Structure 1
Amino acid sequence: MNRTSSANPADQKHSRPHTHALLTLALALSLSACSTVSVKTDSNQVTKESLRSAQMLGKLVTTPVSLLGNVATTSTDILKQATRLESQDREVDAAGCYLKAAVDAYQLLASGAEPPGSEAEKALIDLHNLSLSRFAELWMHDPRRDGTPGPFEFSCNGEKIDAQLSPGSTYHSGYFDRAIPAAAVKQKGVVSKTRDGLGAAFVGIREQRPERAKELKFYPPKGLHVPVTLTMDNCRTGSDGKTRVTVSLRNPMLEQTVKLNGRSVPIAADFTAPIAVILAGRSETMWGLEGFFEADQRVNQSGIFLTEPYDPKRIPVLLIHGLVSVPIIWRDIVPSFTSEPELSTRYQFMVFTYPSSYPIAESALLLREQLAAMRAHFDPEGDDPLSRNMVVAGHSMGGILTHTLVADIGDNLWKVFSDEPFDSLPIDPARKENIREMLFFDPDPAVRRAIFISAPHRGANMATGGLVGLISRTASLPTDILEATTNVIEPSTGAKLGLKVSLDKKVTAVQSLEPDAPMVQALDVSPYRRGIIYHSIIGDRGKGDTPDSSDGVVEYWSSHQEGAASELIVPTDHGAYKSPLAIDEIKR
């Protein structure tokens, strides 16, 4: 179905409800207290921390003359010099001094002079990582960079250093447009997930650009934001006095260790910083409300978006948000998964976002269309897990959308409307085909496992509330969606066909969640696809009163599914996805 972003003129006057109405709906849906993600970046702070590490080394020196003492003294001087050069806009010269400090620390680490795990080694690693971070940040802006791996010559106090990107680097030299040192990112509203180790942890950013429209079709509008770590792989000083350094841009989700003096050490990483940077300034509550009330404007921002470069070998995990919600709800879950090697090396994560005021049938169609388009783009031969082995997890109404992917619905949805054959429907052929796409669909054979989180499979009584229904109808839907859900059949014709459900009124997602809504009824009588494994996570607000429990929005009788491989009751409200118990269950 072709979608337009123009709203019905009759509804335009309602597209900006009063703030009171918005907040009333938010309260009515019992949204948990939601925070705004805030981020500040300060590269100068990275330099200060690097200086502190050098000064810490000085305090650890136990003999008057030692390599450690020499590195501590020279690094302090070099870092101060780099700061002065940077203030004079001499970024290439400053980069050379930051690189020199990183090289000196690395060479001492590689010598094995300091015992593994000692305070001196920890301080050297900090000095190396932070200095390398500042070098790489400035190197990204080096006018000599042309996408080639190098070598590029730098100097500091007369010492020359050649830096070159390793041929085995995960990412090529020109892949990222920007790199933000993770150490420079200070965030609120997200739970930090990091890994201590060797290397400069970054947020690698590949921007959306017109020439990349095809390449980045299934990536966020702000571009790809991923954890990346720059490591120093080789560092040798030749007979000519020049030091030659080889570095690699690594994916810390797939690589966990590097070699240092013959032993394996962890690769440093920050798995949260990329999420924080891309969501900076976003309010979960307001973004969700905008997505509900301004569906006509948000439709062009809908789709499936990858959180990392597509991998044809790993199993996709698709996360689907619910009503009056947006993908920001997964901001703590994704880093929690990607920070664990046993998960990050087997799975890749993506999110589906949609205007949450859409009727469920329309959102389900959009989801199916997006999955088909993604497979045609990345896996036209159908050989990847994307086409053969997926996991889908949905929260609240996202759980209903997940259910539509694994239910053998047949003609059950049409039977809710009429006992007459669908083919006898006397309407325009084009509109009839659009309705057929929404009402008749097969389960997705690629989805092997489904996870339902606070899902109202049988509807929610709250959706029948007069105030909730009234406010929900102020949502501004695109013209084609309104046409598909209102005035489908003339009342006189509908009477002749014996329609059991009215098709002459505006329907939003809220009406789609009423216990007697068509999709809810159809799913309740439709069996799951043979072989599908499904799980339920259900909140009871800590009352321990299951099966008479409720999470405050959805009752247990609606969330419970017979035949589930597991059902976990967590002591939470409707935001069960935030529960550590729920996160552990999803991991399991």
Structure 2
Amino acid sequence: MRPGILGKPRSYRDHRLAWMTCFALLAACSSLSRQPKNDALNEARHLWRDTAEIQRKDIAARNWVRCAVAAYQASESGSAAQQAEAQDLADNCTHELLGYLLDVKPGAWSAQSLHVLDQPLRVAFRDLPDSLDDGPVALARADEVTIPPVMGVRYATRGYGVPMVGWQARCHDKPICMLYPPEGLTRTLVAWVEPGDDGVAQLIVSGMREHPDITIGKRSVPLASDPSATLAALYDRSHINRLAVWNLIGGRQFALREGLYLLDDYDPDKTPVIMVHGLGRSPMVWAKLTNLIDGDPSLHARYQIWHVIYPTNTPQLLNRLIVQRSLDQAWHILDPDGTAPAHQEVTLIGHSMGGVISRLIVSDSGDVIWKAAFDIPPEQLHGTPADLAMVDSVFRFHPYPGVTRTIFLAAPHLGSPYVDSLIGQVALRVVHAHAPELDALIRVTTENRAHENPLLAQDYERYGLSSISTLRDAQPVSHAAQSLMPAKGVRYYTFAGDLPGTNPPGDGFVPLKSALIPGAVSTTIVKDGHQLYLNDEVLAKILEILRQP
């Protein structure tokens, strides 16, 4: 036999064994090639299961980081069922990790590098809303925010990541800051964990307006969101309801809040829905309707919600001017050129006195109201130019440009006879109004007694001048304002309550004949009281209206 390479003879059996070994190795390699290079899904499964038995939170948190990374990697490929399982694991591990991190670091967060035990973790913010500046952002898991009963149910959208709420104090260095609630900004965010390019795990906290999806591998996956938690977090910080009640009896803090407020970042392409509260109320009455609109993805994509605050102790016509000025100020900041699509088609929704104000906002007064107050034109009255201009702006106005649709809920368009009841008489004596515009009106009427409507002067003398007194049908200026209807081209819808046993028929405060005005696109009457903003039938109908072209 020929000597072998190593100097020892080989037998036929040796050759045969060598070939068999080679074939076995090739078969093993072939089998390995059919297995995933990195069984990330299996790793995530084990980490999630095993970590449930770990008592030390820091060790568990380290495992949740690794679990979330492995699950993210597993989401990049595999069958639909495997991808769905991987997403659930990623969300579950991230959810637990966030619970740990927010307990350890409860304050505001910024981009940073940290360690979870011996596991490096980089916190990165991505695509945050423009309204959240470069400063730290307070974070909360959305599922830890309680939804108050007044908002209805929680509306959350399933998707990749853990829904979050971000909060930041209101800014003061830009004009738009004036349009943010004094309580601060709450924004809908989402968080997930992914591997960084350098192999370091990253906790991503992201906004959603620009990029509502995440790309994992070759597929696009919707991100999870919980807009209800965002709204609830804002309302939880507010004490505005208490201020609204105090405003009626002379409190001035609510009046200091007058203006228009954005609940989300301004979008020049989305239609504004501007909500106007009623007597002694605040924007909190719109909690349920706001939640319904934001919780419907199709409506949220089409509309942006703005809330108006005005002092409800002042007369209706002055409140109309205050709301108009709030709109003017907002548009001057948001769209000074008046070219944005959002500026061309606005929807107003008003409850009670807010409904009356909304009607006046879209009406042309001509000289109807002026002639109910004075028997000569403005230019012939005596007074300072500033006082005369103020009185003129209260009594004479045009339809507000851009408002194409209004919705009236339980609005006393023709006044309310309940003002003459015992409770109404008490309210007339208790409700007090303070405003520079009223001072200007008093100065002008004092200098022009000979030209003031004597019936108006008598009414002022007997009942005073407040929101309650101007609900009286016999009040001359209010009576004239009742004749004004929305301008041509403005679609309007009326809603009224009809409680059994009320006399006259109505909701216990506003009679049906006062709430229902001619020319409405639709009229809806429900067996309910004055608080129609809580009635499910009414709210469903409003959503139906908003879904129309």
TM-score range, shorter-chain basis?
0.7 to 0.9
Question: Structure 1 CA distance, aligned partners of 2:133 and 2:46?
Answer: 33
Q: 1:255 to 1:577 in 2, by over 3 A?
A: farther
Q: 1:165 to 1:513 in 2, by over 3 A?
A: same
Question: Structure 1 CA distance, aligned partners of 2:218 and 2:263?
Answer: 34
Q: 1:164 to 1:451 in 2, by over 3 A?
A: same
Question: Structure 2 CA distance, aligned partners of 1:126 and 1:523?
Answer: 59
Q: 1:277 to 1:70 in 2, by over 3 A?
A: same
Aligned match of 2:225 in 261, 264, 269? Answer: 269
Contact 2:313/2:431, CA 8 A, preserved across alignment: yes
Structure 1 vs Structure 2 CA RMSD: 3.4
Aligned residue in 1 for 2:253:
297
How much has 1:128 moved relative to structure 2? 3.0
Give the letter aligned to residue 43 of structure 2: L
Q: Deviations over 1:185-231 (max 9, x none)?
A: 2343332222233222122112124x435341111111111222234
Q: Where does 1:27-42 land on structure 2 (aligned, <5 Å)?
A: none
Question: Structure 1 CA distance, aligned partners of 2:201 and 2:170?
Answer: 34
Aligned residue in 2 for 1:103:
69
Q: Deviations over 1:92-150 (max 9, x none)?
A: xx7x665444324433444547826978864653333443465478688588x4xxx6x
How much has 1:247 moved relative to structure 2? 2.9
User: Is residue 2:415 matched to residue 1:459?
Assistant: yes
Q: Deviations over 1:354-405 (max 9, x none)?
A: 1111111111111111111111111111112443221110000000110111
User: Is residue 2:91 matched to residue 1:125?
Assistant: yes
Secondary structure of the structure 2 residue equivalent to 1:316 = strand
Q: 1:420 to 1:572 in 2, by over 3 A?
A: same
Q: Which one is further off, 407-416 or 460-469?
A: 460-469
Secondary structure of the structure 2 residue equivalent to 1:298 = helix
Q: Deviations over 1:413-434 (max 9, x none)?
A: 1122234333332334332221
User: Is residue 2:58 matched to residue 1:82?
Assistant: yes
Secondary structure of the structure 1 residue equivalent to 2:81 = coil
User: Is residue 2:344 matched to residue 1:388?
Assistant: yes
User: Is residue 2:331 matched to residue 1:375?
Assistant: yes
Aligned match of 1:445 in 401, 426, 438? Answer: 401
Q: Deviations over 1:492-545 (max 9, x none)?
A: x534555441155631101111122345423332242121111111122368x9
User: Is residue 2:155 matched to residue 1:193?
Assistant: yes
Q: 1:389 to 1:170 in 2, by over 3 A?
A: same
How much has 1:249 moved relative to structure 2? 1.0
User: Is residue 2:449 matched to residue 1:494?
Assistant: yes
How much has 1:551 moved relative to structure 2? 1.1
Aligned match of 1:72 in 45, 48, 51? Answer: 48
How much has 1:66 moved relative to structure 2? 4.5
Aligned match of 2:165 in 195, 198, 203? Answer: 203
Aligned residue in 2 for 1:222:
183
Question: Structure 2 CA distance, aligned partners of 1:386 and 1:140?
Answer: 38
Q: 1:319 to 1:221 in 2, by over 3 A?
A: same
Question: Structure 1 CA distance, aligned partners of 2:497 and 2:411?
Answer: 10
Secondary structure of the structure 1 residue equivalent to 2:181 = coil
Secondary structure of the structure 2 residue equivalent to 1:212 = coil
User: Is residue 2:193 matched to residue 1:251?
Assistant: no
Q: Where does 1:526-545 land on structure 2 (aligned, <5 Å)?
A: 526-541=484-499
Give the letter aligned to residue 198 of structure 1: Y
Give the letter aligned to residue 178 of structure 2: K
Give the letter aligned to residue 200 of structure 1: V
Contact 2:176/2:334, CA 8 A, preserved across alignment: no
Q: Deviations over 1:405-451 (max 9, x none)?
A: 11111111112223433333233433222111111111112101111
Aligned residue in 2 for 1:354:
310
User: Is residue 2:395 matched to residue 1:429?
Assistant: no
Larger Rg: 2
Which residues of structure 1 form unaligned runs of 5+?
A: 1-64, 85-93
Question: Structure 1 CA distance, aligned partners of 2:477 and 2:96?
Answer: 55
Q: Which one is further off, 384-393 or 372-381?
A: 384-393
Question: Structure 1 CA distance, aligned partners of 2:395 and 2:314?
Answer: 15
Q: 1:120 to 1:414 in 2, by over 3 A?
A: same
Contact 1:170/1:248, CA 8 A, preserved across alignment: no
Aligned residue in 2 for 1:5:
none
Contact 2:390/2:437, CA 8 A, preserved across alignment: no
Q: Which one is further off, 70-79 or 559-568?
A: 70-79
Of structures 1 and 2, the one scoring higher in RCO (CA 8 A, sep 6+) is: 1
Aligned residue in 2 for 1:54:
none
Give the letter aligned to residue 190 of structure 2: T
Q: Which one is further off, 340-349 or 479-488?
A: 479-488
Give the letter aligned to residue 329 of structure 1: V
Aligned residue in 2 for 1:11:
none
Give the letter aligned to residue 196 of structure 1: R
Q: Which one is further off, 359-368 or 182-191?
A: 182-191
Give the letter aligned to residue 539 of structure 1: G
Question: Structure 2 CA distance, aligned partners of 1:161 and 1:178?
Answer: 19
Give the letter aligned to residue 516 of structure 1: A
Aligned match of 1:508 in 457, 460, 466? Answer: 466
Contact 1:321/1:353, CA 8 A, preserved across alignment: yes
Contact 2:243/2:253, CA 8 A, preserved across alignment: no
Contact 2:273/2:303, CA 8 A, preserved across alignment: yes
The TM-score normalised by the length of structure 2 is 0.80
Q: Deviations over 1:222-257 (max 9, x none)?
A: 11112222345x53676xxx33547351236x7654
Q: Deviations over 1:334-372 (max 9, x none)?
A: 121012121111111110011111111111111111111
User: Is residue 2:111 matched to residue 1:182?
Assistant: no
Aligned residue in 2 for 1:36:
none
Contact 2:102/2:140, CA 8 A, preserved across alignment: no
Contact 1:485/1:507, CA 8 A, preserved across alignment: no
Q: 1:225 to 1:501 in 2, by over 3 A?
A: same
Question: Structure 2 CA distance, aligned partners of 1:490 and 1:173?
Answer: 51
Q: 1:177 to 1:426 in 2, by over 3 A?
A: same
Q: 1:380 to 1:236 in 2, by over 3 A?
A: closer
How much has 1:301 moved relative to structure 2? 1.2
Give the letter aligned to residue 494 of structure 1: R
Which residues of structure 2 form unaligned runs of 5+?
A: 1-40, 545-549
Q: 1:572 to 1:255 in 2, by over 3 A?
A: farther
Aligned residue in 1 for 2:37:
none
The TM-score normalised by the length of structure 1 is 0.75
Contact 1:409/1:522, CA 8 A, preserved across alignment: no
Contact 2:243/2:251, CA 8 A, preserved across alignment: no
Q: Which one is further off, 199-208 or 120-129?
A: 120-129
Identity of aligned residues (%): 22
Secondary structure of the structure 2 residue equivalent to 1:216 = helix
